[in-house]
Amino acid sequence: MTRPPDPEAIDAPAPAHPRLGEALRYWLKLGCISFGGPAGQIALMHEELVRRRRWISERRFLHALNYCMVLPGPEAQQLATYIGWLLHGTVGGIAAGALFVLPSLALLIGLSWVYMAYGQLDWVAAVFWGVKPAVTALVAHAAWRIGQRTLRNAFLWGVAGLAFVGLAVLKLPFPAIVAGAALLGGGLGRWRPSLVQAGGGHGAQAGGEHRPTVIDDDSPLPPRARFRASRLALQALAAALLWGLPFGLLWAWQGAGGVYTQMAWFFTKAALLTFGGAYAVLPYVTQAAVGHFGWLSSGQVMDGLALGESTPGPLIMVVTFIAFVAGWQSEALQAGWAAVVGHDWAALAAGTVAALLVTWFTFLPSFVFILAGAPLVEATHQDLRITGPLTAITAAVVGVILNLALFFAVHVVWPHGLQAAPDLAALLLTLAAGLALIRFKRGVLEVVGACALLGLAWRLLVL
């Protein structure tokens, strides 16, 4: 009797190409369990797709990851879209990227409703009081973690310092910080390329013996992966319609000053500036949503970040919470929806539509970059004219995130303003959360959960 081949053997044949239905089940499962931020999500995909299922080789996986890293947007979601595209074309890419996001979208809309409808209850307020110090520590930890990987020389340290000063002291807008860093990196990429050469990638490292995979190192590129100007033009036209039609409808409905119209335009811009992940763009979003538009408070942004950290999916999904809260609190939107669904459901309708619109305009560019731009951008991946500016932008991100941590810390420790006495309990909880993350390497869910329970105990049992 002949034994079936051992899938772990080096000479085992490549597995059969997965059917679309099998791939869809995996992408949905990934969307439901993708905790741990981009590093954890990428590790999940590597373990399942490279090691267990062998749908893609190590080298091809890392090649796809490196491409996604140089794009704005959530790299883990883009990586899922990329691999889905390689496996099953445009349909596979759209399905993989969408299923990575949809479970988180549904969960966050539900949690946002609970937050707005019941957040004034004493025990709910106590939980979120405890969560805010954890969020402050998480942001500071993100700056420390990215800085360790990014700031490899004095020039990059200087870029990070200038970005921090530009935001914290000079109050420069986030796009100006990104543009300045890109110019510095572009100049150094030409005159001193050693200062801005990209270091080693993150995620899985190559190693061990090679086993055949569905998409192997030497697998020929399918026709859809080869660059053609005509295909790019058609895809660009489709992308313009997918963005322009809903935006035009919003403009016709509400005008340029409508809340939904402003959200669509603002979050489109934000989606194009998310180099370095969600923590990099969050200061820009917070600055505009809190300071410029007045959609919600800084405390509410921190609560949303805590929910985003505690749910599956990309962290940039925090914009779903921000949009829901902004829509819920908008008197203009509530008045409009009250005539359609009644007063009792107006706030929920306003918030839900805002969340759906913002999610659409935030993630649409990510799909465009993968499905339309991959063949073109891959050809320039090792070009220092491209990687130099991106390396400098990543360094600036460290200063941007550190400024956000300072912003949150001031609002947590001095909730009633700097002229009032500090909240020493909040300060101690922030320091404890930071110690747990940095010194003891505890997970995000552990730290957020522990702080929530401590906040509940302190506010309800002590005060």
Q: How confident is the model at residue 199 (pLDDT cuts 50, 70, 90)?
A: very low
- How many domains in the chain? 2
**Domain check: are 341 and 406 in the same one?**
yes
pLDDT beyond 90 at 390? no
Q: In whole angstroms, what is the distance from residue 284 CA to residue 250 CA?
A: 23
**Domain check: are 180 and 59 in the same one?**
no
Percentage of the chain exceeding pLDDT 70? 86
Percentage of the chain exceeding pLDDT 90? 35
**Which of the listed residues 73, 99, 125 is the one where a domain comes to its end?**
99
Instruction: Give the amino acid at 62.
Output: L
**Domain check: are 144 and 48 in the same one?**
no
Q: Is residue 209 within a helix (H) or strand (E), and if so which, with residue range?
A: none
The pLDDT value recorded for residue 383 is 57
Whether the model pTM is above 0.75? no
For 389-432, give the DSSP string.
HHHHHHHHHHHHHHHHHHHHHHHHH-TT-TTSPP-HHHHHHHHH
**Domain check: are 188 and 95 in the same one?**
no
Q: What is the mean pLDDT of the chain?
A: 83
**Which of the listed residues 51, 82, 99 is the one where a domain comes to its end?**
99
**Domain check: are 285 and 339 in the same one?**
yes
The pLDDT value recorded for residue 137 is 87
**Domain check: are 108 and 94 in the same one?**
no
Q: Is residue 15 part of a domain?
A: no
**Domain check: are 81 and 113 in the same one?**
no
Tokens for 311, please give them.
């749910």
Q: How confident is the model at residue 203 (pLDDT cuts 50, 70, 90)?
A: very low
128 against 12, higher pLDDT? 128
Q: Is residue 6 part of a domain?
A: no
- What residues does 215 pair with on adjacent strands? 56
**Domain check: are 40 and 176 in the same one?**
no
Q: Which of 6-15, 45-54, 89-98, 244-253 has the lowest mean pLDDT?
A: 6-15
**Domain check: are 133 and 84 in the same one?**
no
Full residue range of the structural domain in which residue 390 is found? 104-197+225-462
**Domain check: are 40 and 116 in the same one?**
no
Q: Which of 155-159, 248-252, 304-308, 330-334 has the lowest mean pLDDT?
A: 304-308
Q: Is residue 142 part of a domain?
A: yes
Q: In whole angstroms, what is the distance from residue 13 CA to residue 212 CA?
A: 6
